[in-house]
Amino acid sequence: MLRVLGGALVLLASGSFGITAGVRYYRASRHLQAFCRAIELLRCEINYSLQPLPEVCALVADRLTGPPAAFFRCFAAQLREPVSRDRAAAAAMEAARGLQLPQDAVMAVLELCSALGRYDLDGENRMLDLTASRLQAALARCEAEKRPRAKCYAALGLCTGLALLILAV
């Protein structure tokens, strides 16, 4: 009886590990969608309200939820201190716990954050367009990959647990 219970626990633990790894792809998709929405919010605020960048980022953070909101909130707080935009963006990326983004999307966001406030309005809009297209491409790739990869990780976790169970018996 104890062996059956132990085997079930091993199988459950490895299966949940695989499912958790698969859930990361769904989170990455949600976070990419939030950043695409944030780009549009930034565009509207920069073009129409003409407020300073820390206030714009704080307004964007108020309209988002979860780790993307934490990123923009921390970025706004960092911009109020005398640090460079690059360091502020890197610190905000580290402070946003649970943020799941592909590496190319992270680079696009960091490049946008380092360029915001340096150009005129047309340059800002071009940078926002470029970042939006890069994030949309990452989102399309993530949407295409998330279901097969989530299934693969779940199956891999269950198979690993089954293999451990067979080796233990």
For residue 114, give the nearest of 85, 72, 144 by alpha carbon.
85
pLDDT in tens, 140-166: 998 898 888 888 888 888 888 888 878
pLDDT digits (tens, 9 = 90+) for 88-139: 999 999 988 888 899 999 999 999 998 888 888 888 899 999 999 999 999 9
**58 to each of 80, 118, 158, how far by Cα in Å?**
11, 18, 43
Specify the pTM: 0.81
Helices and strands, number each (H, E), in the chain: 6, 0
Residue 3: predicted pLDDT: 78
Task: Decide: 142 and 131 in contact? Cβ < 8 Å.
Answer: no
- In the three-class reduction of DSSP (H, G, I as helix; E, B as strand; rest coil), residue 48 is classed as helix
